[in-house]
Amino acid sequence: MLIAIICTLSLSFASPALAFGTSPLSGLITLKALAQDAVPYPTAITNGKPTLLEFYADWCTTCQGMSGTIQTLEAKYGDRVNLVMLDIDDPQWDKLVQRYRVTGIPQYTFLDESQGTVDTLVGKIPQSIMERFFKQLVS
């Protein structure tokens, strides 16, 4: 029994994904799915809805880890909030990376209906905090 506990603890420190039974690739798969289904930036800035700009990179493990939270919130608020995914490694977004002063990823920039910046968060953000910002956008 003690050996089983030690092995479980070792796995959780070595790889939280293994300890909780999720594939290390699941975050990347979710991130790619979000990017594929995201609202295109030109559409988002003209359709009159508030917007979440997510600056990310496929190689970013924090971006991958946050993808489940973003997927959950997109499912709940996606009809009222644009989700725009901008890969910082894609040169077409260089001007937006500069405009929104991306200093780390993932960066979440919340825009109101007129595309004015409401707030910006960077890094691993608890789902409850992210949801509070989504609620603020739709109220």
Residues serving a catalytic function are 60, 63
- Within 10 angstroms of residue 100's Cβ, the number of other Cβ atoms is 17
Q: How many CA atoms lie within 13 A of 96 on its CB side?
A: 21
Q: Which run of H or of E encompasses 97?
A: helix 94-99
- Bond into 50 cis (ω within 30): no
